[in-house]
């Protein structure tokens, strides 16, 4: 409505858009929450509140099912005292030691099996023979040969981390477009140079997928091996707290593992997005 019309009718002129109705504003806010990770965060908070409510409503369960507020309190005390970090550091050293060994061997074997038929025929049967066996089944044998020290734990973590990386690397190599390989060979790229400059970059999204899966596997096997035989580490801490009937400390250790797993996965995704930035850019371009 113009200023002249407003003067004639006595209705003030409207400048800009009218403010949204409260109901519409709440609908927009709800839609924004549902399309972001805030919904997942709210769901976690709701579960923690439900935990607290159940524990408060049933005091008889407090010995085995303590209140979440009590768990968070003891968790904070363990962090401030440094006890959790003193247990977590040796665990992380073992985990990453075994993880990187497993990843390195898995990538090398996957590249060889995917590129050279001889290595595929040689290694495929033993890979499919060993892969389905659960990692804990190897523990008695590994303890016989390596004892119960860090060597056993690192070997178990490396062995469990190996197969997801190997299989994904092999799949990545086999999925490389043959036209890319033939084009590279036309320009004189062959042998190790072909593997390094063409096949490995093309297979890298598959390799990172295997590495992400192996990261979770490494964390699981690390905790398991520490629960079986260890005098330090977060797995030992959790089992020792359970044996001493320190239930709040036990849940605090489990909560620590949940946070560590989330942080490791987040950092991995950040590193992956930076290294494979070219891949995601190309994929987005293809979709558009």
pTM confidence score? 0.81
Cα 253 to the center of its chain, rounded Å: 18
80 and 29 together in one domain: no
Residue 140 lies in a domain: yes
Cα 284 to Cα 268: distance, rounded to the nearest angstrom: 21
For residue 3, being part of any structural domain is answered with no
How many angstroms separate the Cα of 213 from the Cα of each of 56, 160, 161, 208? Answer: 38, 11, 8, 9
Same domain? 79 vs 152: yes
* 151 and 274 belong to one structural domain: yes
Beta-carbon neighbour count of residue 175 at 10 Å? 12
Average pLDDT across the chain, whole number: 85
Listed residue (95, 31, 109, 118) closest to 235, CA to CA = 95
Give me the phi and psi of 264, to 5 degrees please.
-60, -45
* pLDDT tens per residue, range 78-101: 999 999 999 999 999 999 999 999
- Whether 16 is in a domain gets the answer no
Residue 139: alpha-carbon gap to chain centroid: 24
Q: In terms of domains, do 33 and 110 share one? A: no
The residues, ordered by sequence, that sit 6+ positions from 98 with a Cβ below 8 Å of its Cβ are 153, 154, 155, 156, 157, 158, 159, 160, 161, 218, 221, 222
Query: Domain range holding 43?
Result: 22-61
pLDDT in tens, 162-216: 999 999 999 999 998 888 888 888 888 888 888 888 888 889 999 999 999 999 9
């Amino acid at each position: 409505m113009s200023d002249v019309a407003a003067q004639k009718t006595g209705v003030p002129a409207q400048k800009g858009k009218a403010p949204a109705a409260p109901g519409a504003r709440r609908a927009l806010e709800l839609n924004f929450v549902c399309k972001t990770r805030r919904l997942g965060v709210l769901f976690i908070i709701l579960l923690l509140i439900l935990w607290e409510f159940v524990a408060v409503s049933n005091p008889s369960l407090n010995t085995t099912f303590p209140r979440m507020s009590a768990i968070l309190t003891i968790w904070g005390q363990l962090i401030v005292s440094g006890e959790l970090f003193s247990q977590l550091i040796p665990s992380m050293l073992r985990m990453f030691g075994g993880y990187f060994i497993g990843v390195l061997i898995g990538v090398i074997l996957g590249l060889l099996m995917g590129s050279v038929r001889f290595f595929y025929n040689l290694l495929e049967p033993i890979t499919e023979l060993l892969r389905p066996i659960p990692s804990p089944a190897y523990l008695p044998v590994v303890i016989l040969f390596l004892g119960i020290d860090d060597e056993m734990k690192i070997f178990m973590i490396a062995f469990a981390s190996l197969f997801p990386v190997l299989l994904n690397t092999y799949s990545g190599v086999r999925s490389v477009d043959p036209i890319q390989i033939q084009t590279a060979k036309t320009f004189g790229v062959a042998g190790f140079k072909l593997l390094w400059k063409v096949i490995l970059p093309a297979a890298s999204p598959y390799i990172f997928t295997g590495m992400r899966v192996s990261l979770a596997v490494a964390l699981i096997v690390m905790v398991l091996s520490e629960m079986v035989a260890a005098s330090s580490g977060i797995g030992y801490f959790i089992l020792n707290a359970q044996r001493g009937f320190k239930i709040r400390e036990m849940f605090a250790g489990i909560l620590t593992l949940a946070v560590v797993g989330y942080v490791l996965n987040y950092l991995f995704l950040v590193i992956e997005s930076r290294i494979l930035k070219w891949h995601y850019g190309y994929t987005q371009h293809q979709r558009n």
